[in-house]
Structure 1
């Protein structure tokens, strides 16, 4: 998010695109043949890019990854993302750079399921970021969150839903991650990190109700110190996923968390998967 709260950006590099209908329909289940850089701009102008590419478009080494014309590179201090993507279904270009400078890293990954098949690592929960896009002409600075996920099976096989949120604090960030597993169990993570990535104590917040999204009625919920929270803005309202900006109190501070709610029961619906290619085209390179 930008410092003034008017602009937002999400970037996700996928190897084995977990929300890809092409991957779900591929009997070979080759993750390297289903790669994408998802780029979403929130604000004015808004943009959404998620072009899936085959294994010939992927290259990677210890310091970086390239997917088609876009790339991420780590130089030991900064993570530089070079973006060159096109929106769908109406084509417009998104091109420029994002530079993230993590002040430190958290100790390691968390297991989200009961068998260790799904791992999540919030590597740098609060980092300075500089966004410089030539197309559209968007320049801003703010704070960013950086994580990684690894899984050995499809998300919808392990989980029915989850909610997640991350909020900047005066000395770092707070993250809440509540997963509901397909076997009926669940896990609620309440995490707090300072800016160096060191873990800090946080009192588990109370459940807080949120209204469902207006268009697709995606259920939303979160937690806060006093059991209350409010939706400030809905960024994404899709058939199976929502992303929102909230206002709440966490770790004793009034914050504006970025929140997501995912329904994997909705995602499993064949009709939903048939809708996805309109926003997620596939190219060989």
Structure 2
């Protein structure tokens, strides 16, 4: 991995009743780490993390403890960082979590099993130089979540992808929006990036249940209200140019995650949506706030 580079593996899921949700991201070269941004050596292996976020009526948690290379072990099918791990056996991704939330220290302990219904064929390039890549590996997954802290258990649908790159995100992009929605037969993904050079790219993807990509008419731009406290801008796309926010899961100075109500490829859907402002992330004041939610542990 190059100096200043990164790779992350991402999972999100929502329970069948829509009342619980989670996000898990395993990072080498933690792109949203203030410590990585401040580190002149730019060694990605010195800045690793597993980010766990739980949403729902029975327990909300945010954990993202950064660790260095001494806490990392990995091979072609497994990733272990401190007390948590991810392991792929060819059909199931098993995520074992033992983390502590921040700034209020509470245990986040449990197991998540992700069963992709199919895998897609290829990654996509996000920038003009080919330095930043994204692969929606498994857009349609069955997910089981069993946690002892907080005590909850549910099944639902999920999504799995990976991003990797050869430089800082904030040097290549100003912002992006992304959303994914399960469809009756497959899934839809929208990924709209705005680059530092003024150009942009809007990806409109439809995958069948077997992972085969097929054409989908690009939806129209749909305005959304900004988040409450931090006024984080949000936009999306929908068949009719209309979308609504059902719930805001995360509201930070530079990032928002939401559940929407919209229409894609002729179907009424509830996409999981994210907005990221890398211009805001670059702000020194924003970076100074992050250690309160992202503690660093050495060794």
TM-score, structure 2 as length reference: 0.94
1:75 paired residue among 86, 89, 95: 89
**8 A Cα contact 2:142 2:157, kept in partner:** yes
Tell me, yes or no, if structure 1 residue 134 matches structure 2 residue 155: no
Q: CA deviation at 1:275?
A: 0.2
Alignment of 1:208-227 (within 5 A): 208-227=222-241
Q: How far off its partner does 1:65 sit?
A: 0.4
Q: Which residue of 236, 253, 258 maps to 2:250?
A: 236
CA distance in 2, matches of 1:195, 1:48: 31
Deviations 1:114-146 (A, max 9, x none): 000000000000100000011111100001110
The count of corresponding residues between Structure 1 and Structure 2 is 285
The question of 1:125 aligning with 2:139 is answered yes
- Partners of 2:91 and 2:71 lie apart in 1 by 26
1:194 Cα deviation after fit: 1.3
1:9-55 Cα distance to aligned partner (Å, 9 max, x none)? 00000000000010011111110010000000011310000000011
Which residue number in structure 2 is paired with residue 199 of structure 1?
Answer: 213
Picking from 275, 283, 288, the partner of 1:274 is 288
Which of 25, 34, 39 is residue 38 of structure 2 equivalent to?
Answer: 25
Which segments of 5 or more consecutive residues in structure 1 lack a partner in the other structure?
A: none
- 8 Å Cα contact 2:118/2:140 also seen in 1: no
Q: Secondary structure of the equivalent of 2:240? A: coil
Deviation (angstroms), 1:63:
1.0
2:122 corresponds in structure 1 to: 108
**Partners in 2 of 1:105 and 1:64 — Cα distance?**
18
Query: What's the secondary structure of 1:246's corresponding residue?
Result: strand
Residue 2 of structure 1 pairs with residue 21 of structure 2: no
Partner of 1:55: 69
Taking the aligned partners of 2:248 and 2:211, their CA distance within structure 1 comes to 29
In the other structure, the counterpart of 1:40 is 53
- Please report how far the alpha carbon of residue 89 of structure 1 lies from its aligned counterpart in structure 2 after TM superposition: 1.3
Partner of 1:177: 191
- CA distance in 2 between counterparts of 1:189 and 1:89 reads 36
Note the C-alpha offset of 1:152.
0.4
Q: How far apart are 1:172 and its partner, in Å? A: 1.1
* SS of equivalent to 2:36: helix
Aligned-residue offset at 1:101: 0.7
